Amino acid sequence: MLPLYNFHSHSHHCDGKESMEEYVKAAIDKKFKAFGFSAHSPLPFPNEWSLTPEGFRRYVQDALYLKEKYGSKINLYLGLEIDFIPGHSDDFDAFVRNTPLDYSIGSVHLVREKESGKIWFIDGPVEGYIKGVDDIFDGDYKAAVTAFYQQTIQMLNTQKLDIIGHIDKVKMHNKQRWFSTAEKWYQDLIDETLQAVKENGCIVELNTRGVYSGKTDEYFPSTDILYKCLELDIPMMVNTDAHHPDQLTMHFDEGHALLKKVGFKKVRTPFGEIEI
Residues that bind Zn ion (CB under 5 A): 81, 107, 165, 241
Which residue lies nearer to Zn ion by CB, 139 or 255? 255
Smaller CB distance to Zn ion: residue 9 or 146? 9
Minimum separation from the CB atom of position 248 to Zn ion (A): 13
Nearer to Zn ion, 168 or 241 (CB): 241
How far apart are CB 169 and Zn ion at their closest, in Å? 7
Question: Least separation, in Å, of the C-beta of 207 and Zn ion?
Answer: 8
Shortest Cβ 208–Zn ion spacing (Å): 12
Closer to Zn ion by CB, 22 or 140: give it.
Answer: 22
Smallest gap from residue 273 Cβ to Zn ion (A): 23
- The nearer residue to Zn ion, 76 or 172, going by C-beta atoms, is 172
3-state secondary structure the chain: CCCCEECCECCCCCCCCCCHHHHHHHHHHCCCCEEEECCECCCCCCCCCCCCHHHHHHHHHHHHHHHHHHCCCCEEEEEEEEECCCCCCCCHHHHHHCCCCCEEEEECCEEECCCCCCEEECCCCHHHHHHHHHHHHCCCHHHHHHHHHHHHHHHHHHCCCCEECCCCHHHCCHHHCCCCCCCHHHHHHHHHHHHHHHHHCCEEEEECHHHHCCCCCCCECCHHHHHHHHHCCCCEEEECCECCHHHCCCCHHHHHHHHHHHCCCEEEECCEEEEC
